[in-house]
Amino acid sequence: MKIVVCVKHVPDAAADRTFTEDGSTDRASVDSLLSELDEYAIEQALRIAEADGADTEISYLTVGPDDARDALRKALAMGGDSAIHVSDEGIEGSDAFGTSLVLARAIERHGFDLVLCGMASTDGAMGVVPAMLAERLGVPAVTHVEGLTVDDGTVSGRREGDGATVSVQGTLPAVVSVTDRSGDARYPSFKGIMAAKRKPVETLDLADLGVDPAQVGRSGARSAVDTTARRPPRTKGEIVVDDGAGGAGLAAFLTARKFI
Amino acid sequence: MPEILVLVDHTDGAVHKPTLELLTLARRLGEPSAVFLGPGADSATEVLGRYGAHKVYVVDAPEVGEHLVTPAVDALTQLAGRTGAAALLLPSGPDGKETAARVALRLGSGLITDAVDVVPGPDGPVTEQSVFAATYQVTAHVTRGVPVITVKPNATAPEPAPVTPLVEKQDVAFGPASAAVRVLARTPRERGDRPELTEADIVVSGGRGVNGDFTVIERVADALGAAVGASRAAVDSGWYPHRHQVGQTGAQVSPQLYLAAGISGAIQHRAGMQTSKTIVVVNKDADAPLFELADHGVVGDLFEVLPQLVEEIRRRRS
Ligand SMILES: Cc1cc2nc3c(=O)[nH]c(=O)nc-3n(C[C@H](O)[C@H](O)[C@H](O)COP(=O)(O)OP(=O)(O)OC[C@H]3O[C@@H](n4cnc5c(N)ncnc54)[C@H](O)[C@@H]3O)c2cc1C
């Protein structure tokens, strides 16, 4: 089985993230790392490969600038076989439509039985790229699941949807996204980190994929940011140390604010 | 008046509050039409009309319940074409967002997710979003095609504007089952005695500091008529169900009052509650980062502070 795991290199959520003047995410000012939510997808791929034996091949795919390679190295250190890095100046400023188009073309070129994604990125956090990929590839989208099983040409999982928990099943080939409840991700071992250095990473650009530059990047974006503004910092209110009357004091505060 | 399609979020015809918020927002942009998928439309029509739906399009086919997301995509795409709608509004859950994304792809439209406000603008609807763990507010608009927008719960207060809706049954051509995902079993979320987490005016949340038994949190919630929330640490420990998790990978809530007890305030938790109007924090560690957001904070043991709070609420009410 051929598994492609889509991974994203994102600004560290613990750092102070900002925008550049044109309203896109400022990637230069903070450290970036492999999106934590993608580690769950990598973990599932590795578990499937472990259960399946030698027949499974895992490739990682990322779209992004040069340093996005770091995300691929981290993924390869956790396990897997090879990686694809799509990098092209024309991609900068892509929205989910542009990104999903590039990903879909790269996945088609490589071939796949299963595409695995995290439930959302930790920066843009729209959580729509897996659904868009399935739409573009014309295959089932088994999204937002935990309890993932791949068996006999089908993929199944449990999904907490908008109003219900549902058990879902699709046939392979398929796109799957897993939540942070799908199973803890492993840490790369020292051996894994060393081995990752020798694993092949292929670099592709838009021309290699036959993607029209007008469809991606800023020119392909289908929405525009009008304004970005830092929320005014919350003014820190009164912090009292409980001297035996903290609960009553809290009740007085809530009464003053008309919650009681 | 341009027609605005609103996808109805319901359980067997019982319409959920976020739909009424969507209808209220849609009236700012044009004339709302509700798109109702599945059985139960009869019991929903009255409330949809009360909040201003001039039309209710009903698609009641077996595919709607059998498959995940794609039947709604087929229905909305075809209805958008038939009606010439000026915008589509959907609820911002996993189902709503995925439906919106695929509809936008098929229509060649732009998409905005997780809006916390929608107003008319010179080039179509202008949305407001909270990003980067709600540290930034962004306004944006769609630049291509019919705008497809998903809106978070509590974006606005539902306001009635009664009309008698025209109900129209609609036939939809569904895509191939091979590209669909089968729903093997469905367990509707129990709507208990407490308000829904994302819809509640008050949320009382507990974290690792609760140390196992959430009764102490539930008592405060019930005294205030609130929903119960939990940090991921509390959920991962198995102390409270995941659907109560607040944060980046749980629910994002924006209530009038958020009371957090025994929660330190990691960025991923803040991402789910930072936009709450009033924030109250109880934590025994004076250096807990969540105090930075607090309008009122108590440095103390939650097992002392919360029971006293409940007592005092009772005393003040009697
Ligand atoms: C990708 C990713 C996604 C995540 N998503 C989420 C998410 O959606 N939601 C979320 O909440 N977290 C999320 N997290 C986890 C987050 O990073 C924190 O680990 C988590 O929020 C910590 O929960 P906590 O505050 O309850 O626990 P802790 O950080 O352990 O804090 C417990 C607090 O309780 C206080 N305390 C202890 N005993 C008492 C007492 N008797 N009285 C008063 N105070 C007491 C302590 O002083 C401490 O401040 C995510 C993490 C990652 C990596």
Tell me the residue type at B184. Answer: L
pLDDT in tens, B110-148: 999 999 999 999 999 999 998 877 788 999 999 999 999
- Tell me the CATH number at B206: 3.40.50.1220
Candidate of B237, B283, B292 to mutate for ligand 1, largest count of ligand atoms within 8 Å of Cβ: B283
| Per-residue tokens: B248 | 């980046």
Question: Cα(B182)–Cα(A135) distance, rounded to whole angstroms?
Answer: 16
Mean pLDDT of A126-136: 96
Distance in Å, CA B296 to ligand 1 centroid: 19
Q: B238 and B113: one domain?
A: no
Distance in Å, CA A259 to ligand 1 centroid: 26
**Domain membership flag for residue B188:** no
Mean pLDDT of B269-297: 96
CA angle B55, B58, B63 (to 5 degrees): 155
Using DSSP bridges, classify how beta strands A154-160 and A164-171 pair: parallel, antiparallel or unpaired. Answer: antiparallel
Instruction: Using CA coordinates, name the residue in chain A closest to B133.
Output: A13
Per-residue confidence (pLDDT) for residue B123, from 0 to 100: 94
Task: List all residues whose CB is within 6 A of at least one atom of ligand 1.
Answer: A 36-37, 180; B 207-209, 231-234, 245-250, 262-264, 266, 268-269, 272, 282-285, 288, 301-303
Q: B125 and B263: one domain?
A: no
**Domain membership flag for residue B205:** yes
pLDDT interval class at A87 (50, 70, 90): very high
**Domain membership flag for residue B22:** yes
Contact indicator for B104, B90 with CB cutoff of 8 Å: no
Of B11, B102, B299, Cβ closest to residue A135:
B102
Contact indicator for B150, A223 with CB cutoff of 8 Å: no
Give B121's contacts (C-beta < 8 A, 6+ positions apart): B141
Segment among A203-212, B224-233, B268-277 with least mean pLDDT: B268-277
Per-residue confidence (pLDDT) for residue A162, from 0 to 100: 72
Kindly tell me if the per-residue pLDDT of A26 is higher than 80: no
User: What percent of chain A has a predicted confidence (pLDDT) above 90?
Assistant: 83
pLDDT in tens, A214-253: 999 999 999 999 999 998 888 889 999 999 999 999 999 9
Question: Cα(B264)–Cα(B33) distance, rounded to whole angstroms?
Answer: 44
Examine the fold and report which residue of B179, B211, B241 is the final residue of a domain before the chain moves on.
Answer: B179
CB contact under 8 Å between A122 and B308, yes or no, is no
Residue B198 C-alpha from the chain's centroid: 5
Max Cα–Cα distance, chain A, nearest Å: 70
State whether residue A39 is helix, strand or coil: helix
State whether residue B276 is helix, strand or coil: coil
Residue nearest to ligand 1 atom 39, measured at CA: B209
- ipTM of the complex in this document: 0.94
Of B68, B133, B300, Cβ closest to residue A13:
B133
Contact indicator for A157, B183 with CB cutoff of 8 Å: no
CB contact under 8 Å between A247 and B134, yes or no, is no
Instruction: Indicate which atom in ligand 1 lies nearest the CA of residue B301.
Output: 42
Q: B238 and B173: one domain?
A: no
Q: B137 and B8: one domain?
A: yes
State whether residue A141 is helix, strand or coil: strand
- Tell me the CATH number at B58: 3.40.50.620
CB contact under 8 Å between B132 and A247, yes or no, is no
pLDDT in tens, B65-108: 999 999 999 999 999 999 999 999 999 989 999 999 999 999 99
Examine the fold and report which residue of B119, B144, B179 is the final residue of a domain before the chain moves on.
Answer: B179
The neighbouring-strand residues paired with B136 are A230, B131
Tell me the residue type at A90. Answer: G
pLDDT interval class at B159 (50, 70, 90): very high
**Domain membership flag for residue B174:** yes
**Domain membership flag for residue B190:** no
Per-residue confidence (pLDDT) for residue A121, from 0 to 100: 86
> Which segments of A79-212 does DSSP mark as H helices, in order?
96-110, 129-137, 190-196, 206-209
Question: Cα(B87)–Cα(B123) distance, rounded to whole angstroms?
Answer: 12
Mean pLDDT of B277-287: 97
Q: B133 and B227: one domain?
A: no
**A10, A32, A135, A144: best mutation site toward chain B, by most B Cβ within 10 Å?**
A135
Residue nearest to ligand 1 atom 18, measured at CA: B266
Using DSSP bridges, classify how beta strands A32-34 and A9-11 pair: parallel, antiparallel or unpaired. Answer: antiparallel
DSSP state of A81: S
Give B305's contacts (C-beta < 8 A, 6+ positions apart): A242, A246, A247, A250, B261, B282, B298
Kindly tell me if the per-residue pLDDT of A115 is higher than 90: yes
Residue range of the domain that includes B126:
3-179
| Per-residue tokens: B182 | 């089968």
Q: B167 and B218: one domain?
A: no
**Structural domain total, chain B:** 2
Question: Cα(A118)–Cα(B269) distance, rounded to whole angstroms?
Answer: 19
Per-residue confidence (pLDDT) for residue A16, from 0 to 100: 74
pLDDT in tens, A164-220: 899 999 999 999 999 999 999 999 999 999 999 999 999 999 999 999 999 999 999
Sign (positive/negative) of CA torsion B17, B20, B22, B28?
A: negative
CB contact under 8 Å between A225 and B186, yes or no, is no
Q: Which has the higher per-residue pLDDT, B154 or B19?
A: B19
**Domain membership flag for residue B308:** yes
Per-residue confidence (pLDDT) for residue A52, from 0 to 100: 87
Q: Is B197 exposed, middle or buried (CB count within 10 Å of its CB: 0-12, 13-18, 19+)? A: buried
Instruction: Indicate which atom in ligand 1 lies nearest the CA of residue B250.
Output: 8
Q: B21 and B129: one domain?
A: yes
Mean pLDDT of B23-39: 98
A85/chain B closest Cα distance in angstroms: 24
Per-residue confidence (pLDDT) for residue B190, from 0 to 100: 78
Distance in Å, CA B210 to ligand 1 centroid: 11
Question: Cα(B244)–Cα(B235) distance, rounded to whole angstroms?
Answer: 8
Q: B67 and B207: one domain?
A: no
pLDDT in tens, A7-16: 999 988 777 7
CA angle A110, A112, A118 (to 5 degrees): 105
pLDDT interval class at A130 (50, 70, 90): very high
Question: Cα(B92)–Cα(B99) distance, rounded to whole angstroms?
Answer: 10
**Domain membership flag for residue B189:** no
Examine the fold and report which residue of B128, B152, B179 is the final residue of a domain before the chain moves on.
Answer: B179
Per-residue confidence (pLDDT) for residue A17, from 0 to 100: 74
Q: B100 and B129: one domain?
A: yes
Residue B143 C-alpha from the chain's centroid: 25
**Domain membership flag for residue B187:** no
Instruction: Indicate which atom in ligand 1 lies nearest the CA of residue B233.
Output: 23
A79/chain B closest Cα distance in angstroms: 25
Distance in Å, CA A200 to ligand 1 centroid: 39
Q: B214 and B173: one domain?
A: no
pLDDT interval class at A18 (50, 70, 90): confident
Contact indicator for B226, B265 with CB cutoff of 8 Å: no
Domains and CATH numbers, chain A: 2-220 (3.40.50.620)
Q: B153 and B225: one domain?
A: no
Using DSSP bridges, classify how beta strands A174-178 and A141-151 pair: parallel, antiparallel or unpaired. Answer: parallel
CB contact under 8 Å between B297 and A127, yes or no, is no
Residue nearest to ligand 1 atom 22, measured at CA: B233
Instruction: Using CA coordinates, name the residue in chain B closest to A228.
Output: B138
Q: B204 and B163: one domain?
A: no
Predicted TM-score of the model (pTM)? 0.94
Instruction: Using CA coordinates, name the residue in chain A closest to B136.
Output: A230
